[in-house]
Structure 1
Amino acid sequence: MTPITEVEGRRLALTNLDKVLYPSVGFTKGEALHYYATCAGALLAHLYNRPVSFLRFPDGPDGQRFFTKNVPPGTPSWVRTAEVPRRSEEGTATYVLVQDMSSLIWAANLVTEFHTPQWQADSPGTADRMVFDLDPGAPATVVECCTVALWLRERLAADGLHVYAKTSGSKGLHVLVPIEPTPSEKVTAYAKELAMEAERELPGLALHRMTRSLRPGKVFVDFSQNAAAKTTATPYTLRARAEPTVSAPVTWEEIEGCAEPGELSFLATDIAPRLDAYGDLLGPLINLNRARKLPRGFR
């Protein structure tokens, strides 16, 4: 019998709670739902008013994985949605907005990573945050990403910007910056300039091009996720990896002290203690008082 639970007055059918999603550690779907419920306060703040793309992995990370952008079949009528202009054709697409606990648990029951754009639903294509996705090419690891992240922090600070970081939940780091609303194409142009500068200033380490043959041992500074059509793993989302890793906010002290890749890898079970210890380290991303304008010429 499918368990029925009530969340904020909404009745939800939760399926296959004993199903093992991460065999390496025996982590079940029920534990995944529990994780999302316990970190909902922080996660929902970063999902709020942002159209959600789902990377679904219902049979675990070794099973089929697929992106769902439009509203999934069977979505309850009470789940809020947003009409978003299509980028490559006329008309709009309908996306889910995960605004509350009931919507979060419904979406988590689909077994998903949450991905969101750098803009909000009521201002599509106008970014209020900037992101750099630091992706290491083996044998480089997150340790090398830390070196690039620290360079970016200093360079962005020189332009008067506040800078924050989280793990990708995969191999690398995300560097994030709250900005005053700016057209996505201008944010992308500025981010590209900094990625190119990083390549010049950190020769043999940073790389601004995706070319696979150039990437071994280097850190790809991916600026392209600032494009209006792109999305990034939302803070606190589980990832479809071998273990239930999370895209987790980190302190700059942790980045400065990182000597081994495992030091910046966090599982679902690590997040509640970190929230107790630090609060939401990315809270300033949703505090407009921390947002700053891009340098003149990119506004």
Structure 2
Amino acid sequence: MSDDTDFAPLAETGQQLVFVTGPSGAGRSTAINVLEDLGFEAIDNLPLSLIPRLLDGPPLGRSMALGVDVRNRDFTTKALMKLLDRLPERADMKVSLLFLDARKDVLIRRYSETRRPHPMSPDEGLEAGIEREAELLAAIRARSDMLIDTSDLSPHELRESLTGMFGAPEDQRLSVSLQSFSYKRGVPHGVDMVFDCRFLRNPHWEAELRPLTGEDPKVAEYVQQDPRYAEFFAKIRELTEMLLPAYREEGKSYLTIGFGCTGGRHRSVSVAENMAEALANKGWQVSIRHREMERRR
């Protein structure tokens, strides 16, 4: 096919064309599956040389997600860059490059868990392959339109993020994620707002309550008996309820609020549970995650 292909059939549909790439183990396959669930025509590992023919064929009538990475038969940084340069800039066809990334230690752990050989170093050390792939993809990463670091994201959180980016308007309600956590392990990645609950009375020092969690009514009652609790909760609820409509009006589709305490099992969990109930009663779409409790489980 010649270099002057105009890709007209796809352009006429007015759909999205999303290239999904990133290092092996960063979540690219998960992202492809999510986009497919959102209604995209998803094709993974199609040789780059065949993509122009695909785009020049009959229109599919819906958006497309094309997964490309080092496993593609004819993949090179130069070839992908050239392909992207040839795609026309048109108002009725939005072309974007989504890059999924993760820290090296996370990629090593994920590969160690699956025991799969790395495509860039099947006969060498895992770390060498990861470093070689990162070097190969550096220019593509820099060019990406959207970059998601999945190092600290669960598959559910990645799905929520992609739904906010690519979901249909009816899917793009503002989703509120509440997370409890322990300050000992650090603030969760990607949190938009954080409330510190460490000043509240601590159930950890009560032998009867220590083995329980903030989901238990006994622990919740103990925390709420703190004379500062009622005013604290009323103020952060009022602040949150004021900000959520503003975030929605700005086009934000996903907001994460963190609640931290020392151990991440009692006070932060209790406050997060109460906030989830309060926001849900107001009609907000709420999900909740207790990070430290997940680790223990």
Q: Provide TM-score, normalisation by structure 2.
A: 0.30
Q: Normalized per residue, which structure has more strand? A: 1
Q: Greater CA radius of gyration, 1 or 2? A: 2
Q: Normalized per residue, which structure has more helix? A: 2
Q: Provide TM-score, normalisation by structure 1.
A: 0.30
